[in-house]
Structure 1
């Protein structure tokens, strides 16, 4: 008999909510560490070259300054290879203060350490760095691409040439920065050869692994603590150089050292969504059946590392297309290394692919929603595997009805309200269902309370709450009797908190561990001559509100407390594990979204206002509807930023980012947000994982920007093929 579900699927408040709103939640820079001193990083002011000298005399003469560290006096560190730290594939990660080479503008070249933050800031300003400045290339359009990564099925060239209807367009996507609310910060301290780091990270195990590799330590010599993360969007998925710098400085001054990056430094030193140029060709029959597609992608990366993301996947599996050719070419530039940003790869591809499908629908005179329905695949054409579940067509139907798609004007630019041109658009989206090995420690105490521990992170989606909900149902306890602790490398290991894999991986480990503890208690009861459940069939026993009883005779039973006290047990505990199946893949697994948008465009000023957004999602089992709503709304808001506001502006003379602040790097605020709504289809994907989830945090962002762009086209008749869509493009 399976356990009843009371907590999973219920609308509950965040279990850590009170701590966050009252200020008792401790973020990375807020930990109270005795004797902590402050460090401020000095950034390179050239885009490429070599350091020829560093004058620190004036800085070291200041009161309170303990040291200034650079490649001239820093220790040489082992920097062992570390494949498991979210380093991009290929190249060599930036090695802090190990040589005189400058790879990009803003690179850390020195650090000033002082007893107060103000003293450290003053010292950093007084450090004088001289350079042998070299020519810099930071322009994606002008630099030489690397060798292409390709994919092909069928014969796209011939199929495109023979297609009755063809479209071709090139799309430009600006670089985006994560800019989470909490800045990146680290407090590092040493006790002998043991390093403790309080860090903003989305992967405590990854930070632990990287620090051990850099300093030549064993894993158990590195302790990483990160109980709360104030937003990340992918920026904290790897340990950036400032984490190493904090540890180097702490060892040098023999005191704990705190480093907090400025907003400007975050724009250079913690990754970003890279800029892209994406050329797309589509060929179709006059009845709207896709015949062929050709995707040609240019993407920026750094010269010292290779960064790639899953930009090609959507073009291989989202629509039935017998002939596909794809080319992905990295463009090495004198810039810092990009990193994954919400909906990585898939969000980029969606803008080009979904805009192209919309253009094709317009060319054919077919409703864009109907065109997508006509090209809905039965299986994943990239690998011939069946989908574990795929209800994208249901997302279309539900969304069209709820949004009032039938009111959309079929003639672009024909619907007007005063000076406002009104348009509606939609886009499909998908994101890979990721799962990885995870563990979770479960302890049930004799007082009927339970504790869950795992080295997971929570940057906002509600990991504390969702894991608690899974544990509450599996143990048959009220939610308030579950305590979840995460964010510590001494806890059981978990995968990165990114790629929408936390609940599928860690949640499944929690489920497994709690199931084991509950069954242990049941076995104890049915084997105990003094228990009311003695000799009962274990499969007929369930637990509700901490009480074990027979399913068909609820009066026959006892509480965890009664059972454990009588058997002199202080607790029951185990470590739950989850690992996805090994061997050849047997299913194609994705979460899906259909996003609908209504915009108003000022005909005189080109100003775009998002009136409504609706997202309909096939994301498997929804553990927490309240948190799912929050994730969807957040993804939509991020998509508004991508579509209309966010872009990093680079001065190509030296790679300086000219809007590396929140005054000039625009993000959506309340005035930019219309009516946002999310709908989640009922369902479960137990092929993907035991708890039936498919991942949510990424897919809710994927189709938002193209849905808005398609709505702008419907409103104005102008197809804007660059993001963000700024008002000058519409004038």
Structure 2
């Protein structure tokens, strides 16, 4: 396969639609006689509803119906557990199932009216009488009550920690070089620009078309069909454009359930949108407390790794993350003890948020490694290289590829690491302390079975489709690039379509596996199309009659016989000769299990950060950052760079800004708006550089693709934390690192 477009910085093919406003999102589709819903949320964290007073709301002009647990239509018999690809073990939350309150903010009523404004106003008139119960929402107050997670299907994608090896505690205590720490991560919320919305178009008895904000159209189709007892073919979910998601769209959110429920009951089209405050009333990155104890011998070789983590979950589901497994994958140690526990609280179920578990666990790992390097009186880069491994200790398998050493080399050279003074508090610029820090990143390179269809028409145009999603990552563009190269066509003649459950099967899009999964499916569909083209050509032209597949070059939109000066046969001629005037191929892209089973597959990164710390006020500013990434074949350096830059910005946010603050007296998030949920702005972002290290990996898949969604984030928070230590001599392990925490440590800044 020629690679004319793969690896080139092609601009986003969907860019014009987005910047001109022609791209439509879930709440923007105009539907005749549309009804509007608005949700009322609970104001207590635990208890029962005694009475919902609806009289004033029902009297509002335009109100059609108000749904509560008392009049909610029944659902199908099938358990909600089997209606969601991403559901953790337990019993998924069912909106308005009964009068029980299980977390603050849960939906307890929905007004449906002729206009959005009428529904919103009516919702403000609803009052609720509760029987309150004592609730538990503070993880730190209940750490001793944590337990092991329950087993379930989710364990296949999120394996627990490996069994202990050796005598990690004993060897740690005896180690001449040791480092330990307690790491606190608060709750974070996704807060994409596009808020959750569902526009449900009632097409007739038991038939719906749904415009939904989601990272999985087929997942939502399965959810709606199973929960409401509808034939799968009668439920179509469309999500052509997604205004950010970061994992929040992996599971169907409650607005989808409620909008479908109302539409089926009223036999009308219904739209239900969340407001920004309601974006804080479902899943989030969970609060987590970690403890580490790493030991090394007198030459710096790690000989003991202890890492334990306690995360929060809801009272009804066991949401888990891979938090404590990473050190075992990066640093070989003969003695390891890794433990992961959960504490159920009266909160909504947490859910996947960009780099779930990795962004949490690697912070603790890489800060502890940094401290261990200081204790060993070694350069942090040299210390990591001394403890480098090409084997995954967890699986006892080699990595399919690992160019991490080259990541360190190229990033260190670009950053100027050799000019670093290793002594904390030794570097200054005017009245600011300067700190340099580094960290290693790792994320699994997964691939899931995915189907795609390729359709070639007589005008020489190719359309490839799959039900996968593009929530800003560039999937539209890179899949068109793959298809163009597979078929030897101009990119202008190729289009890729996605985000429709009527299209070929695709799993939820997340976990950095979409490019590899969908890309392999696109390649398979194009390969199938090439075989069909040859079969047709063999019947049309004598020169091709005896030709084998390997005798053909598929270039310039035609079939060319190798080592033959005869004229090519164009795709147009072949397709025009068919009865249907189209040629189609639908194929499944499968992971090559026989190749992959002997290897661990992962992406790697090295992040170098410079910070300025104001000596009087403890304000931390990231002044520059270099990230080097080894992620197999880079399909499009332009969109790939944007992915990594986004992760770097988010890493700054996680390290220094982002935090959902709960008042545990009420179990309620108090900063549930973008005015008070602090995020970086343009003035916070300075010099960011991205390096893609060349990495050839034919084990992960034939295209050599590894994902980029998570690897850009995971190492940034620890690199910033390590830079803060180098600047101040203080370890601030409680994220985010705000000025009060920097100033509040025992050794003063001045």
Instruction: Verify the 8 A CA contact 1:88 1:308 in the aligned structure 2.
Output: no
Moved over 6 A (4+): none
Aligned to 1:49: 47
**For the residues of structure 1 that align with 2:9 and 2:565, how far apart are their CA atoms?**
27
**For the residues of structure 2 that align with 1:342 and 1:79, how far apart are their CA atoms?**
33
Q: CA deviation at 1:519?
A: 2.7
**For the residues of structure 1 that align with 2:578 and 2:53, how far apart are their CA atoms?**
71
Does 1:261 pair with 2:274?
yes
Aligned to 2:209: 196
Aligned to 1:287: 299
Aligned to 2:738: 726
Residue number among 202, 213, 216 corresponding to 2:229 in the alignment: 216
Structure 1: 5+ residue stretches without partners = none
**For the residues of structure 1 that align with 2:564 and 2:634, how far apart are their CA atoms?**
31
**For the residues of structure 2 that align with 1:616 and 1:552, how far apart are their CA atoms?**
43
Aligned to 1:577: 588
Instruction: Verify the 8 A CA contact 1:619 1:696 in the aligned structure 2.
Output: yes
Residue number among 314, 322, 333 corresponding to 2:345 in the alignment: 333
**For the residues of structure 2 that align with 1:223 and 1:524, how far apart are their CA atoms?**
34
1:520 to 1:201, Cα distance in 2 relative to 1, 3 A: same
**For the residues of structure 2 that align with 1:563 and 1:575, how far apart are their CA atoms?**
18
Does 1:601 pair with 2:623?
no
Does 1:119 pair with 2:118?
yes
The C-alpha deviation readout for 1:685-717, integer Å capped at 9, x for no partner, is: 221122211111111111011111111111111
Q: CA deviation at 1:477?
A: 0.8
1:43 to 1:25, Cα distance in 2 relative to 1, 3 A: same
TM-score normalised to structure 2 length: 0.95
Residue number among 179, 188, 198 corresponding to 1:176 in the alignment: 188
Instruction: Verify the 8 A CA contact 1:76 1:98 in the aligned structure 2.
Output: no
Instruction: Verify the 8 A CA contact 1:533 1:556 in the aligned structure 2.
Output: no
Residue number among 388, 407, 415 corresponding to 2:419 in the alignment: 407
Aligned to 1:71: 69
Aligned to 2:559: 548
RMSD of Structure 2 on Structure 1 (CA)? 1.6
1:414 to 1:627, Cα distance in 2 relative to 1, 3 A: same
Instruction: Verify the 8 A CA contact 2:403 2:695 in the aligned structure 1.
Output: no
**For the residues of structure 1 that align with 2:590 and 2:83, how far apart are their CA atoms?**
17
1:552 to 1:601, Cα distance in 2 relative to 1, 3 A: farther
Q: Secondary structure at the match of 1:187?
A: strand
The C-alpha deviation readout for 1:36-57, integer Å capped at 9, x for no partner, is: 1111100001011000011111
Residue number among 478, 484, 494 corresponding to 1:472 in the alignment: 484
- Aligned counterparts, 1:191-590, within 5 A: 191-269=204-282, 271-529=283-541, 533=544, 535-553=546-564, 556-566=567-577, 570-582=581-593, 585-590=597-602
Q: CA deviation at 1:545?
A: 2.8
The C-alpha deviation readout for 1:300-343, integer Å capped at 9, x for no partner, is: 11111110011122022111111110111101111001111111
Does 1:650 pair with 2:662?
yes
Instruction: Verify the 8 A CA contact 2:206 2:264 in the aligned structure 1.
Output: no
1:184 to 1:554, Cα distance in 2 relative to 1, 3 A: farther
Q: CA deviation at 1:480?
A: 1.1
Q: CA deviation at 1:208?
A: 1.1
Aligned to 1:35: 33
Instruction: Verify the 8 A CA contact 2:63 2:119 in the aligned structure 1.
Output: yes
Aligned to 2:152: none
1:554 to 1:64, Cα distance in 2 relative to 1, 3 A: farther
**For the residues of structure 2 that align with 1:148 and 1:84, how far apart are their CA atoms?**
25
Instruction: Verify the 8 A CA contact 2:83 2:227 in the aligned structure 1.
Output: no
Q: CA deviation at 1:427?
A: 0.5
Q: CA deviation at 1:128?
A: 1.3
Q: CA deviation at 1:622?
A: 0.8
Aligned to 1:154: 166
The C-alpha deviation readout for 1:240-262, integer Å capped at 9, x for no partner, is: 22210111111232211111111
Aligned to 1:16: 14
Deviates more, 1:214-223 or 1:179-188: 214-223
**For the residues of structure 2 that align with 1:534 and 1:93, how far apart are their CA atoms?**
59
Deviates more, 1:707-716 or 1:81-90: 81-90
Q: Secondary structure at the match of 1:493?
A: coil
Q: CA deviation at 1:89?
A: 2.6
The C-alpha deviation readout for 1:597-631, integer Å capped at 9, x for no partner, is: 11111111111111111111111111111110110
**For the residues of structure 2 that align with 1:62 and 1:237, how far apart are their CA atoms?**
36
Q: CA deviation at 1:552?
A: 4.3
**For the residues of structure 2 that align with 1:566 and 1:77, how far apart are their CA atoms?**
51
Instruction: Verify the 8 A CA contact 1:67 1:112 in the aligned structure 2.
Output: yes
Q: CA deviation at 1:83?
A: 3.8
Q: CA deviation at 1:676?
A: 0.9
Aligned to 2:158: none
Aligned length: 727
**For the residues of structure 1 that align with 2:578 and 2:75, how far apart are their CA atoms?**
54
Q: CA deviation at 1:147?
A: 2.0
Aligned to 2:60: 62
Structure 2: 5+ residue stretches without partners = 150-160, 744-750
Q: Secondary structure at the match of 1:29?
A: coil
Instruction: Verify the 8 A CA contact 1:446 1:569 in the aligned structure 2.
Output: no
The C-alpha deviation readout for 1:372-415, integer Å capped at 9, x for no partner, is: 10111131111111211111111111111111111122001111
TM-score normalised to structure 1 length: 0.97
Q: Secondary structure at the match of 2:425?
A: coil
Q: CA deviation at 1:566?
A: 4.5
Deviates more, 1:704-713 or 1:75-84: 75-84
Q: CA deviation at 1:533?
A: 4.7
